Amino acid sequence: MKTNQTTQPYSFSTVTLATVALAALLLQFAAPSALAANRYWDNNGNTAGFGTAGGTWGVDTLWSTSSAGTNTPTLLAISGTGDTGFFGTTTSNLLAGTINVSGSQVAQIIRSASDGTITLSGGQITLADSSAANLLVDAGTLRVDSQLSGVRIVLNLGTRTLILGSTANNFTSNLVNNAGIIQLGASGVIPDGPGFGTLTIQGNNTNTICGLDLNGFNETINGLAANNPCQKFVTNSSATTATLTLGNNDATATYNNSGANAINSTARISGNLNLTKIGTGTQTLGGSSGTGSYIFDYTGATTVSAGKLTLLTPHTGTGALTVSANATLALTVQGTSQWPPASLTLGNPCTLEFSNVQNPGTTTAPLAPSSAVAAVSGVTLNLNNVVGAVAVTNYPLIGNVSSTNGYAIGVQPAGVVTSHLEVISSTLVYVVDTLGDVWAGTAAPNPTWWDIGTTTNWLGKARSEEHTSELQSPYVIS
């Protein structure tokens, strides 16, 4: 376009503004492929399909723009700010094989579909951060032996498997599994410690299967978390015993069922594995009644080395149980269910915490080791609450105990004035001797004052003729 500067003068600012406006308009209506494109690894030229996995990403021009594999590949690499790299599609699989990765490569998203296992080997792959899935397996198995970097790695594997094989992985936020199985290909492949996130196992609905398979390898993570209803699990499919260590970086996390339809969900830890808790944080396993099924039946040892391990549900595993010095094991009693570890070792000092204590007058202890508990020292027993109204009776705590020596009562249920520990039929029991009176005036429908002979604001033995002063807050009378 020509302009007559004599009859159509333009100032510099006018031209500049017009140019910027035109560029913005063109950008607004630009084809989406200019910003986000699909690229396909094609190892058989312009022949339809993609051939067998092979070649080197970053060296060989094997990235194509054709979803049918009918164009000759022309690209060495793809963009990390919009490009999805396909290693096969659901309509045309990339046959099983190994693709080498040279240097540092990037992608917005990676997807694979194969008749077997595609392996990415060597180099570094950085995926763009996203709350949506940025690593997907549509068919077969994907093994990533390359260093996996980025921020969050969010998986959608369907019912398929991703194998992680690099100990150099350094993505800095959570590893989130929305569906499918993460399988370890080596020990120490999930980043942990300062500057890294947790492992979160979650799903989109109660039919989704999502989990972690140790596959005979040891793994340390900052925390094991779970969100949303699904059939979630941690297991070890190998005959070789593996250890899962939780709590690095002093992380606190909860592994349970949550969200709508949680009651139809499952959270499980099973198989030939040991579980170890480290760090000063709290790792919670399980949830309250009505939030789905919880199964903790792994056969290896449980070791609380530091911090607190909270178990909100029955544990049926028979491996040895150790609570180390300065560590805490917290149990929520579930009916008559008992945790039957092969042995119980308690450090000096350590804490055992019990909630929903029940089965009064019996020896059905929630912690029932199959071998005798050795002499202890410095063990504090915290009893947060009992099921129903606390009564003058005995509550079972630990089986196979021969003496109360070394055990001390810490926190007690509200209303208990005096209590002691006793061994009855080789069971350590908490005995309530006397109860006080608990002010209940803060609870509806009772008013928040004490009136004489009119409103029942006391739980316990208090009688209005014995106490005539006003109380403005909860109070216990002995």
- Mean pLDDT for 454-477 is 48
Cα–Cα distance, 129 to 119 (Å, whole number): 22
The whole-angstrom separation of Cα 364 and Cα 397 is 8
pLDDT greater than 80 at residue 291: no
Which DSSP category does 426 fall into?
A: T
Q: State pLDDT tens for residues 110-131.
A: 999 999 999 999 999 999 988 8
Let me know: does 470 contact 452? Beta carbons within 8 Å.
no
Mean pLDDT of all residues in 267-274: 95
> pLDDT: is 470 or 136 the higher one?
136
> If you average pLDDT over residues 13-36, what whole number do you get?
41
Q: Cβ-count burial of 332 within 10 angstroms (0-12 exposed, 13-18 middle, 19+ buried)?
A: buried
> What's the whole-number mean pLDDT along residues 2-20?
38
Phi/psi of residue 33, each to 5°?
-65, -20
pLDDT of residue 358: 95
| pLDDT for res 437 | 75
Please give the C-alpha separations between residue 387 and each of 111, 328, 359, in angstroms, as whole numbers. Answer: 51, 22, 9
Residue 165 has pLDDT above 50, yes or no: yes
Kindly state the percentage of the chain with pLDDT values over 70. Answer: 83
How large is the average pLDDT for residues 327-334? 95
How many angstroms from the chain centroid is the CA of residue 32? 36
The per-residue pLDDT for 170 is: 96
For the residues 48-70, what does the mean pLDDT come to? Answer: 96
Predicted local distance difference test score (pLDDT) of residue 466: 41
Name the more confident of 288 and 231. 231
Region 364-375: what's the mean pLDDT?
97
pTM of the model: 0.85
Q: Which residue has the higher pLDDT, 205 or 418?
A: 418
Neighbours of 197 (CB within 10 A): 23
Structure confidence at residue 440 (pLDDT): 64
pLDDT of residue 102: 96
Residue 450: pLDDT over 80: no
